[in-house]
A and B are shown apart, each in its own frame.
Chain A
Amino acid sequence: MKILIVDDFSTMRRIIKNLLRDLGFTNTDEADDGNTALPMLRSGKYDFLVTDWNMPGMSGFDLLKAVRADENLKNLPVLMVTAEAKRDQIVAAAQAGVNGYVVKPFTAAVLKEKIEKIFERIQ
């Protein structure tokens, strides 16, 4: 299971990386915005994408839309971990095809629950 973590803050990437490791996912890579993430996703055979929303360059929402529009990536499970808390945004993310939405600040238990739920649905 190879996971890409996208967030513009290195501390947040590190926290998510640590929590994923505790859940048994040790194969993770990092990117700091959508523009860096997209080429990695296209060439890297990732199984799962965890992304922030608000980032300089390409936002996580645009990344999500780009992933869903890409023939090879459209089925990639995407979990959004973000401080964006407007109802309209959550609805927009759901319509764009997000698989899970975790609002910051979050706990390890919430992250675990959402990830497990996503994998349950896929399997």
Chain B
Amino acid sequence: MTDKNENHQGLDPEVTEKLQQQSSELAECISSGDYARAMSVINELSEVRDQSLYREVGRLTRSLHEAIRNFQIDARSAEQKEALSKMSDASDRLAYVVQMTSQAANRTMDLVEESMPVAHTMRDEATALRDEWQRLRRREMEPAEFRELYGRIDRFFAGLATDSDTLYSNLSEILLAQDFQDLTGQVIQKVTALVKEVEENLLGLVVMASHVDQLTGTVHQIEEKEESAEKGVGPQIKAEERDDVVSGQDDVDDLLSSLGF
């Protein structure tokens, strides 16, 4: 199809036909010197334009209503608007995800920080006992020392049982702390579905609005907003498909060494 057809997008064939008819009539009137008739043709022309504009605005209003209904916002009461808004629900849901993940991270780190000293103590005591044990095997130990070692080994075994219980239960609590993944996963999938729906509805609105722009001949000057690399843009998604983004630490190191680092 040609540009000519694309230019007609949004105008009813009825309207374009009328426009063509009237413009040729206008040309005829002017060439034959019938200026009074020419003026009235011009009036008719602008009426056609106005009418199709009204029709398009009507259509836009209807689709706006439709879109708002799709967002499930009851615009009549502020309270309902808040309660029924899927969008505000979505931000609540995302806040919940942040809260859950941070809770799980902190719980896990609490347990890890609690377990590390336990493991350290076990290792230290085992090392010390092994040295003593070697001395005993080399028969370098006095009977009194041996009696002390005897008690120490006893206490070590008892402690070993409690400490490994502690480690085991901390590990299984760490395991349980990962249950957020199931809940946050579900929440994020729901929000993603909503975002897709909103995107489709917005796209519909944009198409409608562009029809009105075409009829009125409005041209918008939209400034492109670029992400500020100085402020930081956050993690890169699909990094491996892009050239302007590093894919990992090795890439960073290569880049820096190419700069003489």
Contacts and interface: CB of A to CB of B under 8 A. Distances in A.
Interface of A: 9-11, 14-15, 18, 53-55, 59-62, 82-92, 94, 101-104, 106, 110
Interface stretch (B28-36, B56-64, B230-238): B230-238
Size bracket, chain B contacts: 20 to 34
Contacts of B244: 86-88
Given A11-B109, A110-B249, A85 B235 contact: yes
B232 A84 contact: yes
Nearest to B231: A59
A55 B232 contact: yes
A17 to B, nearest CB: 10
B105 interface: yes
Contacts of A82: 232
Nearest to B98: A9
Interface string B224-261: 00000111111110010000111111001001100101
Q: Which of B113, B239, B246, B247 has the most CB of A within 10 A?
A: B246
B121 interface: no
Contacts, number: 78
A89 B229 contact: yes
B232 A101 contact: no
Contacts of B234: 54, 83-84
Contacts of B259: 91, 94
Contacts of B231: 54, 59, 61
Contact of B109 (A18, A54, A92, A102): A18
Contacts of B70: none
24 contacts: A14-B106, A14-B109, A18-B109, A18-B112, A54-B233, A54-B234, A84-B229, A84-B232, A84-B233, A85-B246, A86-B244, A87-B244, A87-B246, A88-B229, A88-B244, A89-B232, A90-B255, A92-B229, A92-B230, A94-B256, A94-B261, A101-B252, A103-B248, A103-B249
A115 to B, nearest CB: 14
Contacts of A104: 235
Nearest to B247: A85
A83 B230 contact: no
A62 B230 contact: yes
A2 B106 CA distance: 24
Contact of A101 (B236, B247, B256): B256
B166 interface: no
Contacts of B232: 53-55, 59-61, 82, 84, 89
B102 interface: yes
A92 to B, nearest CB: 7
Interface string B100-113: 00100110010011
